[in-house]
Amino acid sequence: MTDKKSNDLEDLGNLPGFKRGNPTYFENEVIDHLISITLELGAELWVVKDRLAHVEEILSEENKLSLSSLNTGKPSALLQEQLDKERKQIIKRIYGRLYSKYGGESAEEKSAI
């Protein structure tokens, strides 16, 4: 039967993720913020690259641009495929280096689920 003692979860209170508000993982929370800033910059850089590629595709094919087609339209399947590939490479290049010293290049490719 379930051991009541083994269900005592008090030992988990110190895990950062279980703390209310913005959890911090480092003693100096500035490091937490800097990491989050770096990720946000990467995401916004990708948004701009994605939009530029979309603009280029529309202009090269239709020679006219509308904001609505940029904001709510989608790139062609071919461009989407190229973007997916490029995005994965960029992410691996920028963030993969965090773990390259520890064998990051050999991260398992199979699904982690």
Partner 1 sequence: MAINKAIYKRGKTAGVFPSLSSRRDEAYMNFVEDARNLLLHAQQKPIGEYSKLLLKNAGKSMEPDPRSTTEAKELLMKDNVLKTYYRIKRTLQESFWECTYDSLNMRKNDLLQALDDAEKIGPGSVTYDPDFSIPEYATAEIHIQPGGNANEPLSGLLYDYGSKVFMGGAADNDMFADMQASTVGAPQDGKVNRILDLGCSAGVTSSALKRIYPDAEVWGIDVSSHMVRYAHARALEQNHDINFKQMLAEELDFNDNHFDIVVANLLFHEVPVSVSKKILSETLRVLRPGGSFTLIDFPGDKTRDVYTIFFGEMDAADNGEPFLPGFVRSNVEEIMEESGFEMSPYDPNKFLLAGRIGFKPNN
Residues near partner 1 (CB under 8 A)? 1-2, 6-7, 9, 11-12, 14-18, 23, 25-26, 31-32, 35-36, 39-40, 42-44, 46-47, 50-51, 54, 70-75, 83-84, 87-88, 91-92, 95-96, 98-99, 102-104, 106-113
State the virtual CA torsion across 10, 14, 18, 24 in degrees, nearest 10: 170
Q: What does 17-42 look like in DSSP terms, one character per residue?
A: GGSSSS---SSSHHHHHHHHHHHHHH
Closest contact distance (angstroms) between CB of 99 and partner 1 is 5
Q: Reduced to 3 states, what is the DSSP secondary structure of residue 8?
A: coil
Which is nearer to partner 1, 47 or 59 (by Cβ)?
47
